[in-house]
Amino acid sequence: MINSSYVDMTDKVVLITGGSRGLGLAMARGFAENGAHVIVSSRKQEACEAAAEEIRAQGGSVLALPCHVGDWSALEELLEKALAWRGRIDVLVNNAGISPVAPSSAEMTEELFDKIIAVNFKGPFRLSALVGEQMKQQGGGSIINITSTGAIRPEPAYNVYAAAKGALNIMTRSQAMEYGPTVRVNAIMAGPFWTDIAKSWREQADRDSPSAVGRIGRPQEIVSTAFYLASPTSSYTTGAVIQLDGGLL
């Protein structure tokens, strides 16, 4: 029998970066609907507020905290404001990411390279370090990194993005060792999902998907995996990278 704590997130404080749309918003809704206090963070204030208003209208407890995760110096302030709200963070979801493409490696600019690495790897590294230390002090917690199957199926158009997500997979395992046993660190390695970020290619990808389920994922389908990793149900799961892609071969 599955423990009811699998979906009961009552009074858990959950910080989600990239939480104003796509997979992040789906997880924010799910956690709030199941009793969590959710902190929605993304780069733009208005996007955070819009997501927070939507969740609040459904009876959820939510705080909008804008932050550019690629800015190393901004992350301490994010943590301070989050702690000022509820005094702790029980779950951190490093979901923020960007995947701009370049025509070729030679045409990749240093500015774009640094931006991709900053948002997809440097920011999650620093925020996990800050929150991981806080979680250790409070007696435990769960960090969930959202990575990509691009890390194991890289293509020339997004090779830097894929490299950053591969680094995030490695960081997941190393920080699980660093912050264990009380803090668990895991990753969800997501395949293609039907989000607004994917609107230029999602319909064709959905029709032509080579996955075992014959389509791409829907945002709500990441929520149960996030619940599992956030809850005591997964108490023996740490350093894991869970592939969530509908069975891509």
* Measured distance CA(152)–CA(90) in Å, rounded: 30
Q: Which of 158, 161, 179, 228 is catalytic?
A: 161
Q: Domain for residue 19, yes or no?
A: yes
Q: Domain for residue 247, yes or no?
A: no
Mean pLDDT of 63-91: 97
Q: Domain for residue 244, yes or no?
A: no
The answer to whether 59 and 34 have CB atoms below 8 angstroms apart is: no
Q: Domain for residue 126, yes or no?
A: yes
Region of poorest pLDDT, from 73-82, 90-99, 200-209, 214-223: 200-209
Q: Domain for residue 189, yes or no?
A: yes
Model pLDDT for residues 133-145, shown as the tens digit of each residue: 999 999 999 999 9
Q: Rounded to 5 degrees, what are φ and ψ at 92?
A: -115, 125
Q: How far is CA 59 from CA 5, 12, 35, 62, in A?
A: 20, 16, 10, 9
Q: Domain for residue 150, yes or no?
A: yes
Name the pTM for this structure: 0.94
- Could you give the number of structural domains in the chain? 1
Model pLDDT for residues 25-56, shown as the tens digit of each residue: 999 999 999 999 999 999 999 999 999 999 99
Q: Dihedral sign for Cα 229, 230, 234, 235, please.
A: positive
* Measured distance CA(155)–CA(134) in Å, rounded: 37
Mean pLDDT of 229-239: 96
Q: Which domain holds residue 207?
A: 4-239
The yes-or-no answer on residue 161 being catalytic is: yes
* Measured distance CA(27)–CA(220) in Å, rounded: 7
Q: Domain for residue 245, yes or no?
A: no
Q: Domain for residue 180, yes or no?
A: yes
Number of helices and strands (H, E) in the chain? 8, 7
What's the CATH number where 205 sits?
3.40.50.720
